[in-house]
């Protein structure tokens, strides 16, 4: 089971060095045997808004690293022309000498589709069409497009990529259908524990593996499951709890509006959820955030000492996870996160020794 770093900052403060943690973390991951650095695509909101274009941040990561994979987690496929995605990521593949990879998502926040409103209703079907076109372009196959004169032309993507096949994942919040869809289409799976516990995740991974084995695009293997996990490792569990409590609580509170929008996209009554949140007193909202923090700290993240986190890793390994993507930029001060890298490196090395002993 591999380790990687994942970024999804909530940043609405004035900061002259917003990307220091990204760059320092990338160098750390490269030096300590981590598998990848993931950056997302987010628009028009402080929650994740440091990362409107993961090909740009991945190009920056590629420039300061030599070994670690540089990945999008995730490109919102229906927001972009497939040729542009293929071109940008081929540049990243060349800059990194063959280390690029993309997790794709259909998108869920209606405001994001201000960039391409015509694709909002059909975003899920548009996702697979876009991914298939990008895969063809990556293999140097021409595609037919309409030019400015209204004529059909066959075009090939440039520059040629380094990798003959683009590593591809599908992002899911936990719906079983998405796991099956990823497996059927021979794609990896990127997911998280927000809304699904480890036992449920294990069942969905099992369904993904079955679909992947039966996929006509599968030539070998079992697929690949990466799990995003909020992470902070330290020498004392209670000290870690107090270090992350206030920033992670702010992080959870800032996500409420986005959670409501996600519920609406999933067909849940997001309007009533929104009205309920708006009607809450500050004290009630603080209590809600406090309860959410306690739940996430205990069950949905990787917080505490090396021993605490080793117990989490063993459960995830048994569930079938192939890679733990440690989300480190959820609001703890950058200097404090960088200080904790020694403990994260110790966890990584302890896990490696555990696997070697097995």
Query: 34-65, pLDDT tens digit by residue?
Result: 999 999 998 777 767 789 899 999 999 999 99
In which band, very low, low, confident or very high, does the pLDDT at 195 lie, cut at 50, 70 and 90? Answer: confident
Give 98-149 pLDDT, tens digit per residue: 999 999 998 777 777 788 888 778 788 889 999 999 999 999 999 999 999 9
pLDDT average, residue stretch 241-269: 70
Q: Which residue has the higher pLDDT, 194 or 161?
A: 161
Q: CA nearest 234: which of 322, 297, 316, 319?
A: 297
Residue 156 in contact with residue 86, Cβ under 8 Å?
A: no
Between residues 16 and 185, the one the model is more confident about: 185
Cis before 159 (ω within 30): yes
pLDDT tens digit string along 55-91? 999 999 999 999 999 999 989 999 999 999 999 999 9
Mind giving me the DSSP string for 50-89?
T-S-HHHHHHHHHHT-SSSEEEEEEEEGGGS-HHHHHHHH
- pLDDT average, residue stretch 234-240: 96
In the chain, the largest separation of any two C-alpha atoms, in whole Å, equals 66
- What is the distance between the alpha carbons of residues 272 and 263, in angstroms, rounded to a whole number? 10
Pull the structure tokens for residue 193: 């524990």
Residue 258: per-residue pLDDT: 58
Extract the runs of DSSP E, i.e. beta strands, from the chain: 2-6, 36-39, 69-76, 100-105, 143-146, 152-155, 168-171, 188-192, 225-233, 301-304, 323-327
254-262's contacts with Cβ under 8 Å and 24+ in sequence apart are: 254/10, 254/12, 254/46, 254/47, 255/10, 255/47, 257/45, 258/45, 258/47, 258/109, 261/108, 261/109, 261/110, 261/111, 262/108, 262/109, 262/173
Reference 244, options 349, 350, 327; nearest CA is 327
Q: Considering Cα of 177, then 302, then 105, then 141, what sign does the dihedral take?
A: negative
Which tokens hold the place of 172?
A: 């899911």
Residue 235 to residue 22: CA distance in whole angstroms: 23
315 — pLDDT class (breaks 50, 70, 90): very high
DSSP-assigned letter for residue 112: G
Residue 12 has pLDDT above 70, yes or no: no
pLDDT higher for 8 or 84? 84
- Dist. CA 37–CA 27, nearest whole Å: 10
């Amino acid at each position: 089971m591999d380790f990687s770093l994942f970024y999804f900052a909530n940043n609405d403060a004035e900061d002259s060095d917003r990307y220091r943690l990204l760059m320092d973390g990338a160098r750390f991951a490269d030096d300590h045997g981590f598998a990848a650095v993931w950056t997302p695509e987010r628009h028009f909101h402080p929650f994740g808004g440091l990362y409107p274009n993961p090909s740009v941040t991945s190009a920056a990561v590629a420039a300061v690293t030599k070994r670690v994979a540089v990945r999008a987690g995730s490109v919102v496929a229906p927001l972009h022309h497939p040729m542009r995605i293929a071109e940008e990521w081929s540049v990243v593949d060349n800059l990194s000498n063959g280390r690029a990879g993309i997790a794709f998502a259909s998108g869920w926040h209606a405001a994001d589709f201000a960039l391409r409103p015509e694709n909002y209703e059909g975003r899920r079907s548009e996702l697979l069409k876009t991914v298939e076109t990008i895969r063809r372009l990556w293999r140097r196959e021409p595609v037919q497009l309409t030019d400015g004169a209204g004529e059909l032309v066959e075009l090939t993507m440039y520059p040629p990529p380094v990798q003959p096949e683009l590593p591809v994942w599908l992002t899911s919040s936990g719906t079983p259908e998405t796991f099956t869809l990823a497996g059927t289409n021979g794609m990896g799976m990127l997911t998280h524990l927000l809304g699904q516990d480890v036992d449920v995740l294990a069942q969905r991974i099992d369904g993904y593996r079955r679909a992947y084995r039966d996929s006509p695009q599968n030539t070998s293997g079992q697929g690949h499951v990466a799990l995003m996990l909020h992470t902070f490792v330290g020498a004392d569990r209670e000290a870690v709890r107090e270090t992350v409590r206030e920033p992670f609580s702010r992080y959870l509170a800032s996500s409420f509006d986005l959670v409501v929008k996600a519920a609406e996209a999933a067909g849940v009554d997001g309007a009533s959820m929104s009205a309920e949140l708006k009607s809450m007193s500050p004290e009630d909202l603080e209590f809600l955030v406090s309860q959410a923090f306690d739940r996430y700290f205990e069950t949905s993240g990787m917080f505490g000492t090396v021993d605490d986190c080793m117990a989490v890793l063993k459960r995830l390994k048994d569930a079938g996870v192939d890679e733990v993507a440690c989300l480190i930029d959820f609001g703890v001060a950058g200097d404090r996160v960088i200080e904790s890298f020694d403990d994260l490196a110790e966890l990584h090395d302890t896990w490696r020794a555990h696997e070697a002993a097995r």
